[in-house]
């Protein structure tokens, strides 16, 4: 709910600013749901193990289970069953559903990019766009709202008049350009009476760069199959990130299991805060390394794998070192 609420606020703000139509706000939230869940499910499993087993330890129920011959190894085996299910779900979201949702969003943004500003224009009314720096007026719009007729644009000290205006989108960069046909350009200097006048048949000007949000979605929209065998930094970072989310689930379960062991006097929440800090460091490292991989700052051979190795070592240490110490003390007696 926190992630969805913050995302909804962002989308509504963009819609209020005229960057996206209001009609697609909730649809985009639905398409982003898998990418939210692939991040939330590992954390949810991690906290669930800490709270569930922490309560058993705090209320001495785990002591009773141990006394009746229920070993920690057997309990760990039961724990890995739901962890395996969560791992499969995260794999489905990360490798298939999230890229599919990003593809749908990319198609939606591509279609919407050709209508932005034109779609929001009302014929016969002066409207401010581009954060108030440009004022646009059109006498009429075509039926599909792809062409303006009798256009007036005031952009700073420049005034443009044209018979028609159309919008073009560069398919490679995603930048949008306004093309004006058969008109005049007036360059006015404040405080002076003279003006520079330019007649043109075709006049083009960039009106918007591709949004960072769309660049991110385009990278996430690449199907997993296409990422294999591609040596580009962007593809390698995306592939390692998707598999990292899957690998993280069993490692988190392995770490949470020993951390849930608390003294009855401590209470079930004794280790919750440091455990969550440990998890947040894990995910933060992965996110940072994804950015570094994408920029080529680190070798793909190292990539994110060393983080999983470190945390797997921590989990194994938490599992086996206490048992090793216990047996060593028994032998010393």
Mean pLDDT, consecutive 10-residue stretches, the chain (333 aa), reads 80 70 77 87 92 86 82 85 94 92 80 58 72 77 77 85 82 72 88 85 73 66 84 86 93 91 74 88 92 86 90 90 75 69
Give the integer Cα–Cα distance in Å for 282 and 275.
Answer: 11
Residue 8 lies in a domain: no
CA nearest 10: which of 28, 37, 33?
Answer: 28
Residue 56 lies in a domain: yes
Residue 19 lies in a domain: no
Contact 243, 224 (CB under 8 A): no
Residue 183 sits in the same domain as residue 316: no
Residue 107 sits in the same domain as residue 235: yes
Last residue of a domain, one of 159, 189, 210: 210
Residue 51 lies in a domain: yes
- In sequence order, the 6+-apart residues with CB closer than 8 A to the CB of 110 are 169
Last residue of a domain, one of 179, 210, 241: 210
Q: Residue 157: its pLDDT value, please?
A: 84
Residue 151 sits in the same domain as residue 283: no
Contact 83, 45 (CB under 8 A): yes
Domain of 77, in residue numbers: 33-113+215-327
Last residue of a domain, one of 210, 229, 252: 210
User: pLDDT digits over 248-270, tens only?
Assistant: 999 999 999 988 888 777 767 77
Residue 202 sits in the same domain as residue 300: no
| Entry pTM | 0.70
Give the integer Cα–Cα distance in Å for 26 and 38.
Answer: 19
Number of domains in the chain: 2
Residue 108 sits in the same domain as residue 233: yes
Residue 105 sits in the same domain as residue 222: yes
- In sequence order, the 6+-apart residues with CB closer than 8 A to the CB of 209 are 173, 174, 175
Residue 22 lies in a domain: no
Residue 222 sits in the same domain as residue 80: yes
Q: Residue 280: its pLDDT value, please?
A: 92
Residue 108 sits in the same domain as residue 196: no
* Inter-helix orientation angle 25-58/233-259, to 10°: 30
Residue 204 sits in the same domain as residue 221: no
Residue 153 sits in the same domain as residue 229: no
Residue 243 sits in the same domain as residue 96: yes
Residue 55 sits in the same domain as residue 204: no
């Amino acid at each position: 709910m926190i992630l969805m609420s913050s995302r909804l606020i962002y989308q509504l703000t963009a819609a209020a600013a005229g960057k996206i139509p209001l009609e697609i706000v909730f649809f985009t939230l639905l398409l982003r749901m898998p990418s939210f869940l692939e991040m939330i499910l590992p954390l949810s499993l991690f906290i669930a193990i800490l709270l569930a087993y922490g309560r058993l330890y705090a209320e001495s129920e785990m002591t009773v289970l141990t006394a009746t011959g229920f070993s920690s190894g057997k309990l760990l085996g039961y724990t890995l069953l739901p962890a395996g299910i969560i791992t499969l779900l995260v794999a489905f979201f990360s490798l298939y559903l999230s890229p599919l949702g990003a593809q749908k969003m990319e198609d939606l943004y591509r279609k919407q990019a050709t209508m932005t500003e034109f779609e929001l224009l009302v014929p016969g009314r002066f409207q401010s766009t581009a954060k108030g720096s440009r004022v646009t007026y059109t006498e009429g719009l075509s039926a599909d709202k792809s062409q303006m007729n009798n256009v007036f644009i005031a952009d700073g000290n420049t005034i443009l008049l044209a018979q028609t205006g159309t919008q073009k989108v560069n398919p490679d960069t995603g930048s949008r350009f306004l093309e004006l046909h058969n008109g005049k350009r007036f360059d006015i200097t404040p405080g002076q009476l003279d003006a520079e006048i330019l007649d043109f048949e075709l006049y083009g000007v960039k009106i918007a760069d591709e949004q960072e949000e769309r660049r991110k979605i385009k990278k996430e929209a690449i199907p997993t199959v296409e990422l294999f065998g591609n040596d580009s930094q962007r593809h390698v970072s995306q592939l390692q990130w998707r598999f990292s989310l899957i690998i993280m689930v069993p490692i988190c379960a392995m770490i949470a299991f020993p951390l849930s062991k608390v003294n009855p006097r401590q209470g079930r929440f004794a280790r919750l805060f440091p455990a969550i800090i440990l998890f947040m460091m894990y995910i933060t490292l992965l996110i940072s390394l994804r950015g570094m991989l994408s920029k080529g700052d680190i070798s793909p051979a190292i990539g994110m794998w060393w983080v999983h190795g470190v945390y797997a070592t921590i989990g194994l240490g938490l599992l086996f070192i206490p048992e090793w110490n216990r047996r060593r003390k028994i032998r010393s007696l």
